[in-house]
Structure 1
Amino acid sequence: MTSAASPITVAVVDDHPVFRLGMVALLETLRDVTVVAEAASAAEAAQLPTDGLDVVVMDLQLGDGSGVETTRDLLRRAPHLRVLVVTMHEDDESVVASIRAGAHGYLLKGATPDEVERAVRAVANGELILGARIAARATGHLTGSRSADRHPFPELTLREREVLDLLARGYDTPVISRRLVLSPKTVRNHVASILTKIGAPDRPAAIVLARERGLGHDGPA
């Protein structure tokens, strides 16, 4: 934890140079925040000097590795660090994996400058903070049956519900793959997980259940 009188020292880890430079430029405009290091890969992140470093802003997809594993490795080496994940991924698995790895914050890359500043200061102070969309979904999961009425199949992740909705619209694996920018293998893996979670023996049965719960009614575009 940093004291009120001490500047917050930050390192930015992101393999996309435009985003990384933009984040550095934003952070350097903030009062009492100093960017002391950058890394463009998991390998470079492993070499970050951690003495005197407070916060690491971490992407999840690094060119040579996972931001989740990089977070875990950094915190194993320097438990005092606070990691703020800033990523394009909002699926439940990524959020849970990041928090389990030790991250104190999770923002999407569409976050406003004010949200970034608030998150950096919060995690530096040892608080756990989630971006608005992530927090809203987490709250929805915690509200139980009332949330289930608004979000059918609460046992599914957001991505799995998207796949099931497209299945219920009558799309096959190649079309779902193109629409969600996923590999066919990933789509098939999602379908297998969906069938297990909702207790459907096969795709036709899953489609029937999905339509009964309100999914898939728009039909193929």
Structure 2
Amino acid sequence: MIRVLIADDHALARSGLSAMLGVQPDIEVAGTAGDGAEAVAQARLLRPDVVLMDVRMPRMDGIEATRRVRAEPGCPAVLVLTTFDLDQYVYEALRAGAGGFLLKDAPPGQIAEAVRTVAAGQALLAPAVTRRLIERFLSVPPGGGTALERLTAREREVLEHVGRGRSNAEIAEVLHLSEATVKTHLSRVLTKAGLRDRVAAVVFAYEQGLVRAGEAG
């Protein structure tokens, strides 16, 4: 059973998400929170598997709450709730440790599936959401540095394709490798660069200039 904490400052949103997720056979709503500070406290108390985190909340916003939740030992995954066009700080949530994004107007089936995805330890990197979001709010010059220099040429190739939002299967097809080999290369990238997950690898690829805004896809 996947235990979920819902953090949103709108009571109607909390009740709607609770009702929708509560009917899923493999998902249990462990609790709700009306702001970021309460979300951090409830995450410590309830130990959920996933926190659905709104960005704009009083007392403490979702970005800082995500940072604090993810800093805890045995922390839950965080799935950020966003309106996309309005939330200009969601990129910072990625850096704070969020496992992906969920549009507030997403259909119920997609919301439930997103919860299952991040609960399984996978990053939610829908090309129509995360990649476009990063392109819109991230502008960096070509990078470099010791972390990137530690990667082999093949590892850089894999990282570049991850940054473009491609799945392991798609990368394997492009590079003529097996999925297992791609997974091994990605694991080495994460270790060498000190990255926690695939989402962090996407951010790193942009920061290092391997992928530039408008080039993803």
The residue type equivalent to 2:114 in the other structure is A
Identity %: 35
CA distance in 1, matches of 2:130, 2:53: 19
> 1:59-110 CA deviation, whole Å, 9 max, x = no partner?
0011222100001011112443100111213468533211110010201111
Q: CA deviation at 1:49?
A: 4.5
The residue type equivalent to 2:22 in the other structure is E
> 1:149-186 CA deviation, whole Å, 9 max, x = no partner?
xx9xx959xxxxxxxxxxxxxxxxxxxxxxxxxxxxxx
CA distance in 2, matches of 1:104, 1:55: 10
Structure 2 match to 1:77? 72
Structure 2 match to 1:15? 9
Contact 2:69 2:75 in 1 (8 A): no
Structure 2 match to 1:127? 122
Residue 58 (1) aligns with residue 53 (2): yes
CA distance in 2, matches of 1:86, 1:104: 11
Matches within 5 A, 1:128-167: 128-131=123-126, 133-135=128-130, 137=132, 141=135, 155=139
Return closer, same or farther for 1:49/1:137 CA change in 2, 3 Å cut-off: closer
Pick the structure with greater CA Rg. 1
Structure 2 match to 1:95? 90
CA distance in 2, matches of 1:135, 1:87: 11
Structure 2 match to 1:173? none
Q: Using CA pairs below 8 Å that are at least 6 residues apart, which structure has the higher relative contact order? A: 2
CA distance in 2, matches of 1:92, 1:14: 14
The residue type equivalent to 2:111 in the other structure is V
CA distance in 2, matches of 1:74, 1:26: 24
Structure 1 match to 2:106? 111
CA distance in 2, matches of 1:155, 1:54: 33
| SS at structure 2 position matched to 1:44 | helix
| SS at structure 1 position matched to 2:98 | coil
CA distance in 1, matches of 2:40, 2:131: 33
Q: How many residues align structurally?
A: 138
Q: CA deviation at 1:29?
A: 1.1
Gaps of 5+ in 1: 1-6, 142-150, 157-221
> 1:183-205 CA deviation, whole Å, 9 max, x = no partner?
xxxxxxxxxxxxxxxxxxxxxxx
Q: Structure 2-normalised TM-score?
A: 0.57
CA distance in 2, matches of 1:138, 1:59: 16
Q: Structure 1-normalised TM-score?
A: 0.56
Contact 2:100 2:123 in 1 (8 A): yes
| SS at structure 1 position matched to 2:25 | coil
CA distance in 2, matches of 1:31, 1:90: 32
